[in-house]
């Protein structure tokens, strides 16, 4: 990708336009300039359907197939921009309802919350917070519920409740045939297995039903560390988290300097699921005593306040070229840490993110969902920022410098890579999981209508 714009005869789109509850925006119309923007980034879709109903999504899928147009789905719009050019984009932003089921609560006081496929995690956290509930999501308010959940979803409470998709009890899916299907453990269980990790390959999720957990609040700690002490701090973080209660969750982030005003930073963010500050401080104590500690802020907060929003780039500012690698790591022992830090250093002190897993994430049967790398104790990502439009040979050079550390990984986390290169799915799943997804894909989307994603190609045998 980007793919060429397919020829559009227009008959099906003209019909679609009059049938929609929402709207169809095509190049040349006044709204196209706005509709083609994704987080300040212009894309070149063949057309954009702003779906206002589940029926709109089904109509759009059917029309796209009639026109021979590839389908791209836009939820929070945070990734895979290269998948949008030439596609019929189905924008789900208006499908953002959040409904908490009334009546009886489930195990541990959980309640089912039904979330529209276009909602964002900030909206969900705000809504549930008002009821003393939460779903472990991601760390950013504007990230979409659909995109994050269908790919996995590593959140602030991943060690307590698992991934975002581990909290799913049902999904409403518009299939490639334009059918609306309810998917759960008791209804199309195979499809339910596949949507939990198969990304958007098997259909458009128009509603996702989660088990929301009681959570009155969290204890949050933000520890600024001496960047020069990163290797020792990372090892100490690892040692503490390996033994920590599942309530303790944490990420270590090291960012390079961006000019004289923004020196390099190393920050350890910790979140304790619950409001017992004494228990939280006890679990965090070895980290609060790190010799690399420069300053620490510890206090209670609402779960929703853990979700942040990165500052939007100034309008018109060209995006840097991001060269990244990531992986699910089964064992961050000293040799792996050394390789990881050496690769990062050789790529010009690239950004580094280490999120600790284990806990509930690893207690879930690897066969239960299509996210099979449950043996990972940590997720690690590193990213180098090159100037906008950096030449291909420079990108390849940095990629080559970053790639050695992922040889220790079980596989790649698709949600944290914008690459749409063919073959990526082969790195995202163990072979048997990938094959099982390909067989499901053949059953539910044999023509690969949903190909503008981390594509799982339908099985041929
Ligand atoms: C600032 C930032 C912070 C992040 N933080 C985290 C984090 O803490 N944890 C984590 O695990 N990940 C995180 N991510 C990665 C994130 O999970 C992915 O980028 C995710 O794909 C974004 O989903 P979206 O709906 O916003 O994006 P989109 O670009 O709208 O969608 C991404 C993909 O999902 C598909 N898709 C989206 N919605 C649906 C749907 N309803 N039905 C079918 N397919 C759909 C799209 O077709 C596309 O292929 C972060 C990303 C960013 C940019």
Q: Where are the domains of the chain?
A: 11-91, 98-214, 218-308+318-416
**Residue matched to tokens 């099979």:** 372
The confidence score (pLDDT) of residue 263 equals 85
Rounded average pLDDT over 26-50: 87
The confidence score (pLDDT) of residue 333 equals 96
Task: Give the tens place of pLDDT for each residue, 75-131.
Answer: 998 886 666 788 999 999 999 999 999 876 777 889 999 999 999 999 999 999 999
Task: Give the tens place of pLDDT for each residue, 205-223.
Answer: 999 999 999 999 999 999 9
Nearest-atom index, ligand 1, CA of 208: 41
Classify residue 283 by its DSSP letter. H
Phi, psi of 407 (to 5 degrees): -65, -20
Nearest-atom index, ligand 1, CA of 173: 42
Q: Which range has the worst mean pLDDT, 35-39, 43-47, 259-263, 407-411?
A: 259-263
Would you say the CB of residue 152 lies under 6 angstroms from ligand 1?
yes
Ligand 1, atom 3: nearest CA belongs to which residue? 140
The CATH number that domain 11-91 falls under is 3.30.43.10
**Cα 298 to Cα 205: distance, rounded to the nearest angstrom:** 38
Rounded average pLDDT over 390-415: 92
pLDDT band at 7 (very low <50, low <70, confident <90, very high): very low
Please tell me the pTM assigned to this model: 0.95
Distances (CA, A) of 60 to 71, 153, 245, 309, 444: 9, 27, 47, 31, 17
The residues facing 253 across adjacent strands are 267, 353
Nearest-atom index, ligand 1, CA of 156: 8
Task: Give the tens place of pLDDT for each residue, 149-164.
Answer: 999 999 999 999 999 9
Structure-model confidence comparison of residues 68 and 258, the more confident one: 68
The confidence score (pLDDT) of residue 44 equals 87
Q: Which range has the worst mean pLDDT, 217-226, 398-407, 445-454?
A: 398-407
Ligand 1, atom 26: nearest CA belongs to which residue? 76
Phi, psi of 6 (to 5 degrees): -70, 155
Task: Give the tens place of pLDDT for each residue, 62-79.
Answer: 999 999 999 999 999 888
Whether pLDDT at 1 is above 50: no
Residue 74's Cβ-count burial label (10 Å; 0-12, 13-18, 19+) is: buried
Task: Give the tens place of pLDDT for each residue, 351-376.
Answer: 999 999 999 999 999 999 999 999 99
Structure-model confidence comparison of residues 35 and 230, the more confident one: 230
Give distance in angstroms: CA of 277 to centre of ligand 1: 32
Distances (CA, A) of 8 to 4, 12, 30, 338, 425: 12, 9, 19, 53, 29
**Cα 131 to Cα 15: distance, rounded to the nearest angstrom:** 43
Architecture of domain 98-214: 2-Layer Sandwich (3.30)
The confidence score (pLDDT) of residue 9 equals 57
Ligand 1, atom 31: nearest CA belongs to which residue? 147
Would you say the CB of residue 76 lies under 6 angstroms from ligand 1?
yes
The confidence score (pLDDT) of residue 6 equals 43
Percent of the chain with pLDDT over 90: 79
| Whole-number average pLDDT of the chain | 93
Give distance in angstroms: CA of 440 to centre of ligand 1: 22
The CATH number that domain 218-308+318-416 falls under is 3.40.462.20
Would you say the CB of residue 150 lies under 6 angstroms from ligand 1?
yes
Mutational pocket test of ligand 1: of 60, 75, 444, the residue with most ligand atoms within 8 Å of the beta carbon: 75
Rounded average pLDDT over 285-307: 97
Whether pLDDT at 2 is above 50: no
């Amino acid at each position: 990708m980007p793919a060429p714009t397919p020829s559009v005869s227009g008959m099906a789109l003209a019909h679609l336009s009059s049938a929609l509850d929402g709207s169809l925006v095509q190049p040349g119309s006044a709204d196209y300039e706005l509709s083609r923007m994704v987080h300040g980034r212009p894309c070149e879709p063949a057309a954009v359907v702003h779906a206002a109903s589940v029926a709109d999504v089904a109509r759009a899928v059917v029309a796209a197939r009639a026109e021979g147009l590839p389908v791209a789905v836009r939820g929070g719009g945070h990734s895979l921009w290269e998948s949008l050019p030439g596609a019929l984009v189905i924008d789900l932003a208006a499908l953002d309802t959040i409904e908490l089921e009334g009546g009886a609560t489930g195990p541990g006081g959980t309640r089912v919350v039904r979330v529209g496929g276009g909602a964002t995690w900030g909206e969900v956290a705000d809504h549930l917070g008002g009821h003393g509930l939460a779903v472990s999501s991601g760390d950013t308010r504007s990230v979409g519920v659909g995109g994050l959940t269908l790919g996995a979803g590593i959140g602030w409470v991943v060690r307590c409740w698992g991934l975002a998709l581990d909290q799913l009890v049902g999904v409403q899916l518009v299939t490639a045939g334009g059918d609306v299907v309810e998917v759960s453990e008791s209804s199309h269980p195979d499809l339910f297995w596949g949507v939990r990790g198969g990304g958007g390959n098997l259909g458009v999720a128009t509603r996702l039903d989660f088990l929301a957990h009681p959570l009155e609040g969290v204890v949050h700690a933000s520890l600024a560390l001496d960047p020069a002490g990163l290797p020792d701090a990372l090892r100490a973080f690892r040692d503490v988290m390996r033994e920590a209660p599942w309530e303790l969750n944490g990420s270590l982030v090291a960012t390079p300097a961006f000019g004289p005003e923004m020196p390099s930073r190393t920050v350890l963010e910790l979140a304790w699921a619950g409001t017992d500050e004494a228990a939280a401080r006890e679990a965090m104590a070895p980290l609060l005593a790190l010799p690399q500690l420069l300053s620490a802020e510890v206090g209670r907060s609402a779960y929703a306040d853990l979700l942040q929003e990165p500052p939007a780039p100034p309008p018109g500012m060209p995006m840097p070229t991001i060269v990244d690698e990531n992986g699910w790591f089964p064992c961050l022992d000293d040799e792996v840490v050394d390789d990881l830090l050496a690769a990062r250093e050789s790529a010009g002190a690239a950004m580094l993110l280490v999120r600790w897993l284990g806990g509930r994430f690893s207690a879930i049967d690897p066969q239960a969902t299509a996210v099979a790398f449950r043996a990972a104790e940590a997720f690690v990502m590193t990213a180098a920022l090159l100037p906008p439009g950096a030449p291909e040979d420079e990108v390849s050079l940095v990629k080559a410098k970053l790639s050695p550390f992922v040889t220790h990984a079980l596989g790649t986390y698709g949600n944290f890579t914008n690459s749409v290169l063919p073959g990526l799915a082969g790195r995202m799943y163990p072979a048997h999981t990938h094959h099982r997804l390909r067989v499901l894909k053949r059953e539910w989307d044999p023509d690969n209508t949903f190909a503008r994603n981390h594509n799982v190609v339908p099985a041929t045998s």
